[in-house]
Amino acid sequence: MEFLLIEEVPTILKQVIFNFFKLCDLTPREIRAGVWQVQINEELMKELDGWRAQARLLQFTFDQKLAESYGADLICIGSYRLNSILEVIQKQGIFTHLHISHNVFHEPNIRKKVLNELGSENRVYVVNESQMHGQYLQLKILARTISLEKKESIHTLNVNLSSGEVLKFAISPHLIEPGKGRVTDIRKRKCSFKKAFSNAVDYLIKTPQFADPGWTEKAWETFEQEKSKLRSFFNETDEDDIYSLKVKELKNKYAPKLQIDIMRSAVLFTPLFFYKLILIKPSGQEQSRNVLYDPISNAYELN
Amino acid sequence: MQQFFPLITNQINRRSQQEFFRKSTLPHCELEVLGKGFQRMIKEIRTKRIDIADWFILAQKADELQIKQHETKELISLQFLKERWQQAGVIPYPHQINSATRVIHKLQGQAILADEVGLGKTIEAGIILKEYILRGLVQKVLILTPASLLWQWYHELYEKFGIVAGIQRTKWDWESAQILIASLDTAKKEPHSSIIRKRNYDMLIIDEAHKLKNNNTLSFKFVNSLQKKYCLMLTATPIQNNLKELYNLIGLIKPGQLGGFSTFKSRFMKDKRTPKNPNELKELLSQVMIRNRREEGTVRFTKRIVHPVVVSLTPKEQDIYEQVTNFIKESSQRSGVTNILPLITLQREVCSSFLATALTLEKMMANMNEKDLSVAAKILQELAETKQNSKCDALEKLIKDLDDKVIIFTEYKASQKYIRYRLEKLGFSTLAFDGSLSRGKKNWIRCMFQKEGQILVSTESGGEGLNFQFCNQVINFDLPWNPMRLEQRIGRVHRLGQTRDVHIYNLVTKDTIEEHIMYLLHQKINMFESIIGELDTILLNLKLGKTFESEIMKIFLKHEQDVLREKLDQFGEEILEEQEKIKNANWNFF
């Protein structure tokens, strides 16, 4: 699970705000220490503040005291201005393309690894080699545990669209580049998006965070307690329909629930290394082999 | 600027809003996999709406920040609303913040907000609602109020919380609006009630919830059958006469909290007004009810200072007053007291302005017999000839001495016009408020008055639902006979947020019925200086809600001047006795 530490919040918050203005082609000017000013056009202002908003010179700060002294909009956790900006950002599309370049891997090393894999007793010659791209579905999944309290967390899972397997470790973000880049020769998907999502969900619910039954048992206990109170109340009445309605209401409120939804997703094009090989066994028998190596999941496909 | 992608969420079909698939994994735990995000992803892939990666990366950070916000234990709505509240002049009080925090973190969003009158229950409900909306826990909201408070709720939610709610007008509104304000009386009737019962609300708010105290009423049964996740019930009087009323209200919020009724009766009721085991009951109630009291000192109200301004009528005016009064008495004797309303109006108008009296009399003449007609015509003639108005003279004198903002209240539009005419003739600029103005115009006038105006002449209905804490002087040009209406007038300025003492100037014409009314309201029941919190309950118990004016008129018509004061004394005593009864009831356990 990736989650911000409390001390990281101000840094991330500033990054988000300045990146937002940068992507809108706006450059905030620091007019006093800690107070920024930016001219916002009508179109963006309407996105931020609703249809009645006009173009304006927006002053903002991250400091409560400065906000009070200069009348600047305060940007902090919970503030109106932060929420209006977050809302505009979150309105954007939820799907994108990402890629990992072949250059991040050292090809001779990979070749060596592939050849070693075919057994030291065999002699192997590389007849041909090429570079291809595989596809992963990167899912940012929002998981909510709902019982007496609601807890939310975001999980990034990568599902191999050829095998349908979920990658057991995270891909380091610095390897990932935006867009499709110069991706050519893409290997066809064998796994549907729906299947990939389903596999990701199966994987997620087996992680220790969700597999521990402690929280569900506690919540269920509360639900049972409330239900018995309810029963005592309705014992004296003959309103069975209202009773079942109230039980349903109680269940919605107290019974433990895990809610999962996709927040964002991307098709991640990853490098694949293809080798056409001649394998000579100790007996002298020659075989032609094709090997496709996926360095992301460290998987070979041999035929 | 780079092109924004259109908001796609709205285009997703209804099916995708529902759950995608459901499995059971852990014991007792339901897994709900929602299809909303998946469907949106597929739609974007199909339509080749590939987001720009920089926006995508930024959005991921935004998602994380959003979740961080949801995680905080502090009320994020307070920070969110800070600037709005500064503009709107709203100051949240510690007891309001504490109540909202308790409802959210301890009471799981189900509570009776039972603060005493004037402590800001609506603000508490607004904070709770906003908090849940910001945390993404509430989307579908139904607010049920008396019909007269629909616009007030709309206005409060929009102005103070930035929540745009709809007001229910047709049966289609139930399904189209996410946040809807509706009248309880409309909602409980068909075809509306069936539609509402089918809906599952995230939050239900019920104002004036004491109307649900009786579990045999249609209102109670209707509210009890609604499906909701969170529920707030607002009332200043959770018990009026009987402990069962409280039991019923709690049963709506959290059935079983006090056990079955027989258990409740044996454990907590000595008799219908006296509780048993008050401490235990208090403990159980604190899990579903919050009650803040004025005497706890959470809020300091400024003083109300009353200045009676006694106006002596000229002999000519006094003569006309007598003629009108005699005419009313004779008419009532002939027609009986069945059609007393026009006579009450006339009697009150004659103490306000002759212009208002003349207009009413003229209308009444259309249905008069010949004898009355000739008397009325003579009075009308005299009213037209009278150029002097001693009350207005006194008002002019008073206004000259007041250099701050002032609101003049009158009951009648004709008097309002006359007052404005007289004051503008003297060079004062005035603003007018009446019930016919649209909400937008009222707001605009309120703003004008706050920024530039000095005098606002308002009818009672004009001022309803609007607050003028920036002004601390009120002139009652004429007195409403009903104390509830008087309280509403004063309540426009004397409320939370008023920082100065409030001066109330009452113009009272000597030797008229107004003098007696003033005696009853001011000297007898001390209406002006103290806020009678239980006033609505008192009037309800005495069955005087709508007939207060008629009762006074009956006393006035039946008795001569010499015994009139004595009879009004008795009437006042009844009110005070009822007030005492309510005060002494052992309701202090909550």
The model's pLDDT over A184-221, given as tens digits with 9 standing for 90+, comes to 788 888 899 989 998 998 898 888 888 777 778 888 88
Distance (Å, whole) CA B453 – CA B18? 54
> Do residues A257 and B29 touch, judged by C-beta distance below 8 A?
yes
Q: How far is CA B275 from the centre of its chain?
A: 30
Nearest to B576 by CA among B506, B508, B483: B483
Instruction: Please report residues of B whose CB lies closer than 8 A to that of A222.
Output: none
* Phi, psi of B508, deg, nearest 5: -125, 125
Average confidence (pLDDT) over A232-242? 79
Nearest chain A alpha carbon to B63: A90
Q: What residue of B is the nearest CA neighbor of A209?
A: B26
Flag if A16 and B61 touch (Cβ within 8 Å). Answer: yes
Distance from CA of A51 to the nearest CA of B (A): 13
Phi-psi region of B94 (alpha: psi -120 to 50; beta: other; left: phi over 0): alpha
Helix (H, G, I), strand (E, B) or coil at A131: strand
Residue B563 burial class via C-beta count within 10 angstroms: exposed 0-12, middle 13-18, buried 19 and up: exposed
Mutation for testing the B interface, residue in A6, A75, A96, A205 having most B CBs under 10 Å: A96
Q: State the best of B16, B23, B61, B247 to mutate against chain A, taking most chain A CBs within 10 Å.
A: B61
SS3 B411: coil
CB contact at 8 A, A134 and A120? no
How deeply is B181 buried, as exposed, middle or buried, from its count of CB atoms within 10 A (0-12, 13-18, 19+)? buried
Best probe of the A interface among B17, B47, B79, B101, by most A CBs < 10 A, is: B79
Reported as a single tens digit per residue, the pLDDT across A280-302 is 888 888 888 888 999 898 888 88
pLDDT at B359: 85
The shortest C-alpha distance from B31 to chain A (Å) reads 5
Provide CB contacts within 8 A for A256, sequence distance 6+: A145, A146, A147, A215, A216, A219, A220, A223, B26, B28, B29, B30
Residue B377 confidence (pLDDT)? 84
Interface predicted TM-score (ipTM) of this complex, two decimals = 0.85
Which H or E element spans position B327? helix B315-335
Q: Which of A70, A82, A94 to mutate to test the interface with B (most CBs of B within 10 A)?
A: A94
**Which residues in chain B have Cβ-Cβ distances shorter than 8 Å to A12?**
61, 64-65
Which chain B residues are within 8 Å of A85, Cβ to Cβ? 62
Judge: A249–B4 Cβ closer than 8 Å, yes or no. no
Å from B339 to nearest chain A CA? 46
In the stretch 115-144 of chain B, residues with CB closer than 8 A to chain A read 134-135, 137
Token couple for B266: 């044996």
Average pLDDT over residues A242-267: 86
Instruction: Give, in degrees to the nearest 5, the angle at Cα B195 between B192 and B200.
Output: 130
- pLDDT recorded at residue B583: 65
Inter-chain touch B72–A255, beta carbons under 8 Å: no
Contact B164/A at CB under 8 A? no
User: Nearest-CA distance from B476 to chain A in Å?
Assistant: 39
Q: Nearest C-alpha of chain A: how many angstroms from B30?
A: 5
Distance in angstroms (rounded) separating the CA atoms of residues B55 and A96? 9
Residue B30: what pLDDT? 77
Cα separation of B84 and B161, whole Å? Answer: 8
| Residue A12 vs residue B582, higher pLDDT | A12
CA distance A126 to chain B (A): 37
Nearest CA in chain A to B52: A96
Q: Listing from the earlier edge strand, what are the strands of the sheet with B406-410? A: B304-311, B502-509, B473-476, B406-410, B455-459, B430-433
Type of residue found at A260: I
Q: Dihedral, CA atoms, A97, A98, A102, A106, nearest 10 degrees?
A: -160
Does the beta carbon of B39 lie under 8 angstroms from any beta carbon of chain A? no
For residue B587, give the nearest of B331, B245, B112 by alpha carbon: B245
Q: b/e map of B312-324 (b: 16 or more CB within 10 Å)?
A: ebeeebbebbebb
**End-to-end distance of chain A based on CA atoms, in angstroms?**
37
Please report, for chain A, the start and end positions of each structural domain, with discontinuous segments joined by +.
6-91, 102-302
Terminal C-alpha separation, chain B = 59
What is the 8-class DSSP label of residue B270? S
The reply to whether omega before A108 is within 30° of 0 (cis) is no
Burial classification of residue B166, based on how many CB atoms lie within 10 Å of its CB (0-12 exposed, 13-18 middle, 19 or more buried): middle
Of B27, B55, B225, the CB nearest to A213: B27
Nearest CA in chain B to A212: B26
Per-residue CA distances from A169 to A172, B97, B107 (Å): 9, 44, 41
**CB B243 within 8 Å of CB A218:** no
- Name the one residue in this structure whose structure tokens are 């001569």: B560
Of B34, B63, B81, the CB nearest to A260: B34
Q: What is the pLDDT of residue B246?
A: 86
CA distance B355 to B180: 43
B60, closest residue in chain A (CA to CA): A264
Strands (E), chain A: 29-32, 35-40, 56-61, 73-74, 95-100, 123-146, 150-160, 176-178, 257-280, 286-294, 299-302
Q: Measured between alpha carbons, how far is B505 from B409 in angstroms, rounded to an integer? A: 10
In contact, B260 and B136? CB cutoff 8 Å: no
For chain A, give the mean pLDDT.
86
- Topology of domain A6-91 in CATH is Dihydrodipicolinate Reductase; domain 2 (3.30.360)
Q: Is A243 exposed, middle or buried (0-12, 13-18, 19+ CB in 10 A)?
A: middle
Residue A147 scores a pLDDT above 90: no
Residue B414's φ and ψ, nearest 5 degrees, are -65, -45
* CB-nearest partner of A16 from B65, B79, B254: B65
Contact B49 A93 (CB under 8 A): yes
Distance from CA of B221 to the nearest CA of A (A): 10
Residue labelled with tokens 């979920």: A166
Cα A221 from Cα A199, distance rounded (Å): 31
Interface contact flag, B4 A47, Cβ < 8 Å: yes
Q: Which residues of chain B fall short of a pLDDT of 70?
A: 1-27, 240-241, 295-299, 334-341, 439-440, 461-466, 526-547, 561, 582-590
Phi, psi of B493 (to 5 degrees): -110, -30
| Residue of A264, A267, A268 best to disrupt the B interface, most CBs of B under 10 A | A264
- In B235-364, at which residue ranges do the beta strands (DSSP E only) sit? 289-290, 304-311
Chain B CB contacts of A256 below 8 Å? 26, 28-30
| pLDDT at A189 (0 to 100) | 87
Q: Which residues in A lie closer than 8 A to residue B44 (C-beta atoms)?
A: 93-95
Mean pLDDT of all residues in A54-82: 88
Q: B residues 94-113 near A, CB within 8 Å? A: 108
Residue B26 has what pLDDT?
63
Whose CA is closest to A276, among A291, A294, A293? A291
Give me the residues of B, 222-241, that contact A with CB < 8 A: 224-225, 227-229
- Residues of chain A in contact with residue B137, where contact means CB-CB under 8 angstroms, are 150
Cβ contacts from A onto B, under 8 A: 250
Whether B68 sits inside 8 A of A4 (CB atoms) is yes
Q: Helices B278-285 and B261-268: crossing angle, nearest 10°?
A: 130
Of B8, B50, B255, the CB nearest to A246: B255
| Tokens read off for B274 | 């006296």
Count the Cβ atoms, other than its own, within 10 Å of residue A120. Answer: 9
- Å between B144 CA and nearest CA of chain A: 19
Quick check: A220 and B83 CB within 8 A? no
Give the phi and the psi of residue B264 in degrees, each rounded to 5: -60, -45
Nearest to A61 by CA among B97, B87, B83, B163: B83
Query: Token digits for B101?
Result: 């925090």
Tokens at B530, concatenated: 């103290």
Report whether A259 contacts A144 (CB < 8 A): yes
Rounded-to-10 torsion of CA A197, A203, A204, A208 = 180
Task: Give the H or E element holding residue B34.
Answer: strand B30-34
CA distance A78 to chain B (A): 5
**Residue B75: CB atoms within 10 Å:** 22
Which residue among A153, A236, A260 places its CB closest to the CB of B33?
A: A260
Report the 10 Å Cβ neighbour count for A174: 7
Is residue B51 within 8 angstroms of chain A, CB to CB? yes
Residue B581's contacts (CB-CB under 8 Å, 6 or more residues apart) are none
Which chain B residue's Cα is nearest to A1?
B64
Taking the C-alpha atoms of A8, A14, A20 and A26 in order, what is their torsion angle to the nearest 10 degrees? -160
Residues on chain B touching A45 (C-beta within 8 angstroms)? none
Closest chain B C-alpha to A9 CA, distance in angstroms: 7
> Are B445 and B431 in contact, with CB atoms under 8 Å apart?
yes
